Amino acid sequence: MTGRDTATIPADALTADEAAGELARLAAEIARHDRLYHQSDAPEIADADYDALVRRNAAIEDLHPGLVRIDSPSVRVGAPAASGFGKVTHAVPMLSLANAFTAEDVAEFVGRVRSFLRLPPDGTVAIVAEPKIDGLSLSLRYEDGRLVQAATRGDGAVGEDVTANVMTIADVPKRLAAGAPRVLEVRGEVHMTRADFFRLNADLAARGEKTLANPRNGAAGSLRQLDATITAGRPLRFFGYAWGELSEPLGSTQWESRNRLADLGFVVPTDARLCASAEELVAYHAEIGGRRAEIPFDIDGVVYKVDRLDWQQRLGFRDRTPRWATAHKFSAEQAETVLDDILVSVGRTGTMNPVAVLRPVTVGGVVVSRATLHNEDEVARKDVRKGDHVIVQRAGDVIPQVVGVVLAKRPDGAVPWEPPHVCPCPLMTPTTREPGAAARRCTGELRCPFQQIERLVHFVSRNAADIDGLGEKQVRAFFEDGAIRTPADIFRLAAKNRTEWALNPLETRKGWGETSVAKLFAAIEARRRLELNRFIFALGIRQVGEATAKLLARHYETADRWIAQMRKAAEERAALPEATRPDQVGEAYAELCAIEQIGMSVADDVVLFFGEPHSLDALRRLQDEITDIVPFVRPAAAASPVAGRTVVFTGTFAGMSRDEAKVGAEAAGAKVAGSVSKKTDYVVVGEDAGSKATKARELGVRILTEAEWLDRLAGRIA
């Protein structure tokens, strides 16, 4: 049994259990910083530290695709739209960008583009490079040349309507030059120059008003004023450099389209460059970084975009980021401080994560008082002790991380940290380290109040049930009052308020009022209708993140079928617990394992949930409260001849990469599986197809060549 600190372990050295625990920690930390950055305009960590956390999350997900969570940073963007503004649903989602940090990362980005498109290694891939402005993302919608709506990015799908405020920004054209597309959605960044920011702060200080933290926060806060006259008095500027919905193309390349935006009256960054290799991109990054202080506005890196728009279309998107673009960020900042203590936090699955309590220090303009230590192995590896002087960095973790110890300043008598052998919860249940696990876990399971609370917090979170007005603070208060113990109890709060709490209703309690209570109960009622993927994720099953929940919803389509098949798979697994191959267990279990990106590790955690009586009881009670679990609707089902079909790709294809083949199949509504079973409809074979083609022949599954698949996809053959 090893007790390793997962936060400090390289991604490729994590076991599956360690990776799951680390992804859970990263998801929670990143979500908190997203809220601080996008909603409150009050980030606590530097961009480089945040980027490092996101990068680590992506690296672990790449190595363990079956562990991708439904609340993963890779499948969400930003934070939900704040109250006070109308909501705007983006016609085309406003996605974030994947990040690169080194020259090797940039070379890998270009290599992935070549590989996906099946381009020769020496073929030129033209890429547009431009400064990454540190501002607030904005979408401007024009119809017949007139600005009709402006919206913030929000969570990528829904933003805030800030049209009235944007009308006060001089850089934003209110009418476009002749020849603009009938519908044109321009995207870009609202920002302040540093000179304007300093003048504004001087004016605010002279009037005795609160000054602004930095230009980015100043721009975001100014744009999101409920009083547009305040926005009008702020020196906001706008760069336009991208687009969303279009009635006609702006050009055939990124460079051509970018210039077209300038012709239409938008200010575009002037330091952009068209590059032909990874080496040119890295050189551009170094040049811009060297001139960073001379550039009048803040930048935090460089953005690279594949120039050809037809290639962008083929490359498409991951859940959260485009494959045809990446951001090459600047380096993180570090600071030295004293570690006063090491505490332990307990997650919803019992994972115990050590946290450094720091003497407050400013890192990259943000005051840091706590930092992640990831797990006990990492504490031991770095030999972090109470009283040590430590180096803190805001890079890959949302909560800043301890990079190392300044041994020359270690105080006399400092002793190594001992991980707790009992949970810090009131039950003081024992902790354990399972063989190969990355983290120590509390053995109290659902008896542990810390785990109960974290599971409830997870259930109400944005990518799960998304109950507005019911956050961690409120969940803890209701739990401590004994009002809620399982998710089903949340849906009974309104009835409880009318009956048990009649003499002391929620409206009369501290922090609540008639309006806030009415909004809370309305938000809860609205979640009696929940999409299947959200429902699956909200259950908090170990290793089932947002992406995995979507895979399950896409495959099983309805809650009834998913639950029935999972219960059957759980029975099959319980009968053969020592089996090492899916086909040794049973049909339902094998079907689960055959879903693309889901293997036996994830399947075992899913069936473990469905084999546990307490979990099933909580599930039944929840089903009684959620009256409508919306089935998964497969895209292009009516038009595509392969919609609903299960397909497996194997071998090497001549005209497309396997990744491109999978993306195209899913876009047409097909199910892509990772292994062949009796329920497979087609196995598409290329060169060196191997064992999957052999198994397809044994099972009598129809085998298609690449050309036959493309003909079927296009509807040329039945």
Give the active site residues.
132
Distance of CA 65 to the CA centre of its chain: 14
Let me know if 399 is exposed, middle or buried by CB neighbors in 10 A (0-12, 13-18, 19+). buried
Instruction: Please count the CA atoms within 13 angstroms of the CA of 260 that sit on its side-chain side.
Output: 18
> Residue 239 corresponds to which tokens in the numbers above?
């760069």
> Residue 661 corresponds to which tokens in the numbers above?
């083949």
Q: Are 190 and 223 in contact (CB under 8 A)?
A: yes
> Residue 557 corresponds to which tokens in the numbers above?
């389509």
What is the H or E stretch that residue 363 is in?
Answer: strand 352-363
What is the H or E stretch that residue 574 is in?
Answer: helix 559-575
362-387 core/surface letters (b: 16 or more CB in 10 A; e: else):
ebbebebebbbbbbbbbbbebebbbe
Which three-class secondary structure state does DSSP give residue 590?
helix
Q: Tell me the C-alpha distance between 485 and 688, whole Å.
A: 54
Q: Are 493 and 478 in contact (CB under 8 A)?
A: yes
Instruction: Please count the CA atoms within 13 angstroms of the CA of 394 that sit on its side-chain side.
Output: 24
Amino acid 47 reads: D
Amino acid 199 reads: R
Which three-class secondary structure state does DSSP give residue 41?
coil
- Phi/psi for 570 (5° steps) reads -65, -40
Strands 431-432 and 529-531: unpaired
Q: Sheet of 702-705: strands edge to edge?
A: 671-672, 646-650, 682-685, 702-705
Q: Tell me the C-alpha distance between 616 and 446, whole Å.
A: 13
Q: Report which of 578, 574, 572 is spatially closest to residue 592, judged by C-alpha positions.
A: 572
Q: Are 333 and 393 in contact (CB under 8 A)?
A: yes
Which three-class secondary structure state does DSSP give residue 621?
helix
In order, the DSSP letters of 250-289 are S-SBHHHHHHHHHHTT----TT-EEESSHHHHHHHHHHHH
Amino acid 472 reads: E
Residues 6+ apart with CB under 8 A from 78: 34, 37, 38, 96, 153, 154, 155, 156
Q: Tell me the C-alpha distance between 279 and 135, whole Å.
A: 28
**What letter would DSSP give residue 70?**
T
> Residue 15 corresponds to which tokens in the numbers above?
């076991």
**What letter would DSSP give residue 718?**
-
Alpha-carbon distances of 100 from 75, 103, 395, 396, 579, rounded to whole Å:
18, 8, 13, 12, 41
Q: Tell me the C-alpha distance between 702 and 483, whole Å.
A: 56
Q: Report which of 400, 348, 347 is spatially closest to residue 373, judged by C-alpha positions.
A: 400
Q: Tell me the C-alpha distance between 108 and 59, whole Å.
A: 13
Q: Tell me the C-alpha distance between 617 and 605, whole Å.
A: 17
